[in-house]
Amino acid sequence: MEVPGPASFLQEKQKIKEIANVEEDRNPVLQPRDPKVSIVAKSSNREDEPINVRETQSAAHLRNKISRRWGIFPPSKITLTRLFHAMEDDHLLSDYYVCEGAEVNVVVHVSPR
């Protein structure tokens, strides 16, 4: 990519948008390296307040956060799904396209008494 010399950040962002078709709000030139995003965790009978996470955090981190917030212990009783895929603990949230406003479905496995 060649930008004529001394180019402003705005010119660089516009050039990247032209070449890579990257929207300006997702363009890394002026964005924080690992921004926090707000997502919503939902189950069949509960929807939580937005949860702040980073796209580079693991699914296990989010599961533990939901476990603490919802009072469900151990966290292994929780399965998270996104876009009809079970989220694996060692994968990053970005692997499941978790971004600002994303919904993550929560399934709580209850043992019979």
- Whole-number pLDDT of residue 23: 63
| Alpha carbon 65 to its chain's center | 13
d(CA 42, CA 76): 17
User: Which pLDDT belongs to residue 79?
Assistant: 98
Write down the mean pLDDT value for the chain: 85
Q: Scanning the structure block, which residue is given the tokens 């390296």?
A: 33
* Per-domain boundaries in the chain: 1-31, 36-108
Per-residue tokens: 14:
């516009």
For the segment(s) 36-108, the CATH number from 3.10.20.90, 3.40.50.1700, 3.30.365.10, 2.60.40.1510 is 3.10.20.90
What pLDDT is stored for residue 16 in this prediction?
A: 72
For residue 62, what pLDDT band results from cuts at 50, 70 and 90?
very high
pLDDT tens figures, 14-31: 777 777 666 656 555 555
Q: Does the pLDDT of residue 4 top 50, yes or no?
A: yes
Average pLDDT over residues 33-37: 81
Enumerate the β-bridge partners of residue 24.
Answer: none
